[in-house]
Amino acid sequence: MARPTAVAQLQAEPLRAVRQVAIVIGASIFMALCARLSLPLPFTPVPLTLANFGVIALGLALGSRRGFAALALYLAEGAAGLPVFSPMGPGGIAQLLGPTGGYLMAYPAAAFVAGWIAERGKPAFARFALGAVVAEVAVFAGGIGWLILLTHGAAQAARFGLYPFVFAEVIKVMAAAGLANRLRRAKAAVGH
C-alpha cells in the first residue's frame, strides 16, 4: 500500500482535530448524564451519583489527554452555570465551592491518571482495574481533603465523604474497568 502524500496528510489533519473535539464534547455530555443520576443521602451533604463511574470510565476509555480535556470541559460547563453537576447542589461556581467541590476539582486529574495507566501496554482488565482504583483514590483524596477544610476534622469528613460510598465505589470501579477493557479490546480488534 502506498504511503499517503504530505498533502493528503495535511488535508486529513483538520478532520482528526474535529473528531477529537467531538469526542471530548461527547464525553463531557456523558459525564453530565452520569452526574445527573444522583441520590441524596440524609446523613451527608454528598450525594451518591454515577459521576465517579463517568470519570473513571472516560479516563480509561479515552486515555489521559482526552480524558483530562473532557473533565476540564465538564468543570468549565458547570462553572459557567450549565446544568451538568448533580442536581443535589446549587450548581455553578457555588457547587465547586460546596461540599462536593473537592471531588469535582479532582476529576480531570483522576481521568488523566486512569488514562495514563490504561495506555501502558495491551488492554487488560487488571491494568484498567489498577487505573480505576488509583483514579478513585485521587477523587477521594480531593473530596476528603476539601471536606476536612469545611468540617474542620478528618473524622467528620470521612463520615460525610468516604464511609457511605465505599461499597458503591467498588462496584463503579469494577464496572468502569470492565467497560473500558471491552471498549479498548473492540477498538484494537477493529485496528484503530
Question: Would you report the helix, strand and coil content of the chain in percent, each value rounded to 5?
Answer: 75, 0, 20
In a domain, 44, yes or no: yes
Structure confidence at residue 174 (pLDDT): 97
Q: pLDDT tens digits for 23-50?
A: 999 999 999 999 999 999 999 999 999 9
Percentage of the chain modeled with pLDDT above 70: 93
Total structural domains within the chain: 1
Residue (of 175, 180, 93, 109) closest to 141 by Cα position? 109
Weakest mean pLDDT among 32-46, 49-63, 177-191: 177-191
In a domain, 1, yes or no: no
**Residue 1 pLDDT more than 60?**
no
Q: Which domain holds residue 96?
A: 6-190
Percentage of the chain modeled with pLDDT above 90: 82
**Residue 11 pLDDT more than 80?**
no
Contacts (Cβ under 8 Å, ≥6 apart) of 98: 45, 89, 90
Mean pLDDT to the nearest integer, 96-118: 97
**Residue 158 pLDDT more than 60?**
yes
Q: Furthest-apart CA pair in the chain: how many Å?
A: 65
In a domain, 116, yes or no: yes
103: domain CATH number?
A: 1.10.1760.20
Pick the more confident residue, 37 or 8.
Answer: 37
**Residue 109 pLDDT more than 60?**
yes
Structure confidence at residue 15 (pLDDT): 85
CB-based burial label for 57 (10 Å; 0-12, 13-18, 19+): buried
Structure confidence at residue 121 (pLDDT): 82
Mean pLDDT to the nearest integer, 55-81: 97
pTM for the model: 0.90
In a domain, 11, yes or no: yes
Q: pLDDT tens digits for 122-147?
A: 888 999 999 999 999 999 999 999 99
In a domain, 17, yes or no: yes
In a domain, 171, yes or no: yes
Structure confidence at residue 10 (pLDDT): 60
